[in-house]
C-alpha cells in the first residue's frame, strides 16, 4: 500500500467485520488481545486521559504506546444526547507506527468501544467472580447492555440475565435484541429485584451525577460487581459503604481515583491493579464470601488492544476504505513543490 494511504474502517465496514466474524467470536478474540496486553502492562506508556468537561458532558483523548505502536482514541460522553436521538458515547481511533510516526489504521470506535468494554467486563469477571457463577444482573439497559450479556455468554458460558432500567422500553428492546442467542433474559421491576440471585452485578448507567444505583443493603456477600457506568468526576453508581467492605480492582489508579467509584474514598485507599492479578503479583478473589469490585472506567490500553485486534481482522477481510491522508511528495522536503505539481496537473479547480 502507498505511504499516503491509511486504511479507514467505517461504521459500515466495522459492522461487516463483526458480523462476518460473529459477535461472540469477536468478543472472545478481542478479550484474548486485551488479556495479552494487560499481562505486559509495564511496557506501556500510561497517563490519565485528557478530558475537557462541560455542563453537558465530556470530550476525552486516550493515548498510549508499547514503544513500537502508538494509539489514541477520541471519545465523548454526553448523557443528554439521548433526548435528541444521538448516541451518548461516540468515538474514533488511530493506530500508528512509533518508528516513523505514520498512521497505520483509522477506525470508528463507537461500536468497537462497546465491544472492548464488554470484553473487559467479562474478562475481569471470569477471573474475579465466585466459582460457578451462572446469573448476571445488568442494571442500565442502554447501548452497552446487549454487548455485556453476549460477552458474559461468550467468555463464561452464562445464560441467565436479570435486567433493569428506569426506562422499561430499554429493557424490552434489550431482551428483543438478544432473542435467538439462547439466553434466559428476565425483565425486573426494580434494581433491588434484579440483583436477587445474581452472583455478578454489572452497573452500566449513563447519568452524569453522583448516583446510588446499588445501595449497601442490596449487595450480598460473595458477589462480584462490574461498576462500568461511573467513568468521570462527579459520576458514580455504588454507595460508598459497598466500597468499604469490598476488595477493589482497577485499571490505572491515577485515572480511577479521579473518575471511578473510588473517587468517593480517601486517596490512599488500597486498591489492586487488575494486571497484577493476571500476572500472579497480587491475589484476586480469596474467599467465597468476599465482595469483589472491578471499578471500570476504561483505559487507553484496552483501546490499544482493540485497535491491534481490528488491524489483524482488517488485514484478513480487506474491509476498509483507503484514505488519502498523508502527504507523500516525491522529495520529502519539497512539500510546496507537491502543490505546484498538483496545480500543473489541473487540480487547482478554484482557478
Catalytic residues: 231
Q: Which of 186, 266, 206 is nearest to 79 (CA)?
A: 206
**CA gap 179, 147 in Å, rounded:** 13
> Which SS3 state, helix, strand or coil, does residue 274 take?
helix
CA angle 149, 151, 156 (to 5 degrees): 100
The C-alpha cell of 96 is what? 500508528
Residue 111 near residue 12 (C-beta atoms within 8 A)? no
**CA gap 91, 73 in Å, rounded:** 7
**Rounded alpha-carbon distances, angstroms, from residue 219 to 107, 148, 239:** 39, 20, 10
The β-bridge partners of 280 are none
Residues 6+ away with beta carbon under 8 Å from 344 = none
**CA gap 342, 326 in Å, rounded:** 15
Amino acid at each position: 500500500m502507498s505511504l499516503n494511504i491509511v486504511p479507514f474502517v467505517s461504521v459500515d465496514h466495522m459492522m461487516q467485520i463483526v458480523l462476518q466474524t460473529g459477535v461472540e467470536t469477536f468478543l472472545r478474540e478481542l478479550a484474548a488481545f486485551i488479556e495479552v496486553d494487560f499481562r505486559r502492562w509495564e511496557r506501556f506508556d500510561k497517563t490519565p486521559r485528557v478530558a475537557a468537561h462541560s455542563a453537558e458532558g465530556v470530550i476525552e483523548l486516550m493515548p498510549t504506546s508499547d514503544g513500537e505502536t502508538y494509539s489514541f482514541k477520541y471519545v465523548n460522553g454526553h448523557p443528554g444526547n439521548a433526548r435528541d436521538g444521538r448516541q451518548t458515547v461516540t468515538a474514533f481511533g488511530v493506530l500508528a507506527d512509533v518508528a516513523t510516526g505514520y498512521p497505520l489504521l483509522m477506525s470508528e470506535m463507537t461500536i468497537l468501544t462497546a465491544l472492548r468494554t464488554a470484553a473487559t467486563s467479562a474478562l475481569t469477571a471470569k477471573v474475579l467472580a465466585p466459582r460457578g457463577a451462572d446469573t448476571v444482573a445488568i442494571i442500565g439497559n442502554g447501548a452497552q447492555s446487549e454487548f455485556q450479556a453476549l460477552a458474559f455468554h461468550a467468555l463464561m458460558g452464562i445464560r441467565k440475565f436479570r435486567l433493569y432500567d428506569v426506562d422499561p422500553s430499554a429493557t424490552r428492546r434489550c431482551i428483543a435484541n438478544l432473542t435467538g442467542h439462547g439466553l434466559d433474559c428476565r425483565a425486573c421491576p426494580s434494581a433491588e429485584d434484579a440483583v436477587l440471585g445474581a452472583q455478578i452485578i454489572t452497573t452500566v448507567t449513563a447519568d452524569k451525577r453522583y448516583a446510588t444505583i446499588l445501595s449497601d443493603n442490596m449487595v450480598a456477600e460473595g458477589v462480584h460487581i462490574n461498576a462500568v457506568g461511573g467513568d468521570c468526576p462527579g459520576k458514580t453508581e455504588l454507595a460508598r459503604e459497598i466500597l468499604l467492605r469490598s476488595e477493589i480492582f482497577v485499571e490505572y489508579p491515577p485515572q480511577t481515583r479521579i473518575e471511578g467509584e473510588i473517587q468517593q474514598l480517601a486517596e490512599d485507599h488500597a486498591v489492586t491493579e487488575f494486571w497484577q492479578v493476571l500476572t500472579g503479583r497480587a491475589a484476586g478473589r480469596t474467599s467465597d464470601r468476599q465482595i469483589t469490585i472491578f471499578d471500570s472506567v476504561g483505559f487507553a490500553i484496552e483501546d490499544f488492544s482493540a485497535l491491534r485486534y481490528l488491524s489483524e481482522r482488517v488485514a484478513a477481510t480487506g474491509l476498509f476504505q483507503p484514505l488519502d491522508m498523508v502527504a507523500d511528495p516525491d522529495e520529502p522536503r519539497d512539500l510546496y513543490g507537491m502543490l505546484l505539481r498538483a496545480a500543473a496537473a489541473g487540480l487547482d479547480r478554484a482557478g
